[in-house]
Amino acid sequence: MVSESFDRVLVDVPGTGLGALRRRPEARWRRRPEDLDGFAPLQRALLRTALESVRVGGVVAYATCSPHLAETRAVVDDVLKREGGAELLDARPLMPGVPALGEGPDVQLWPHLHGTDAMYLALLRRTA
């Protein structure tokens, strides 16, 4: 992959899939707390690579099917803190008409509020 060659990148990271429990309830019996530790390095690496792949001013959408902070905000916050050169954008305007999106700037969708899986979205703009 060529560094700084894209305007936009969507990185839909693999993870525990805990956000899909309403459709796949049996998954709760296949997951253990230590599974989070196994996905964290990969999720961070994929987000870092995505940020390296966009030009300055380009945007990365980080998405995962999880409500767990270790797979959502913690990944984004850690990469922003350690790598620098990016800022978090408000993702809520991209979802007009969707209620209860929270305080932002990232979005966590919930089965009981949105009728979806528990999906997460953060938008990051590369600044340097």
Q: Is residue 56 part of a domain?
A: yes
Structural domain count of the chain: 1
User: Which residues form the catalytic set?
Assistant: 65
Query: pLDDT class for 83, splitting at 50, 70, 90?
Result: confident
Residue 61 forms part of a structural domain: yes
Q: Is residue 27 part of a domain?
A: yes
Q: For residues 45 and 24, give the distance between their C-alpha atoms in angstroms, rounded to a whole number.
A: 27
Which domain covers residue 56, as residue numbers? 6-126
Model confidence over 19-51: pLDDT tens digits? 655 666 666 666 666 666 778 899 999 999 999
In a domain, residue 1? The reply is no
- Type of residue found at 99: P
Q: Is 108 contained in some domain?
A: yes
DSSP state letters, 51-108? HHHEEEEEEEEEEES---GGGTHHHHHHHHHHH-SEEEE--GGGSTT-----S-SSEE
User: pLDDT category, 72, cuts 50, 70, 90?
Assistant: very high
The pLDDT of residue 15 is: 78
Residue type, position 123, single letter: L
3-class SS of residue 37: helix
pTM for the full predicted model: 0.88
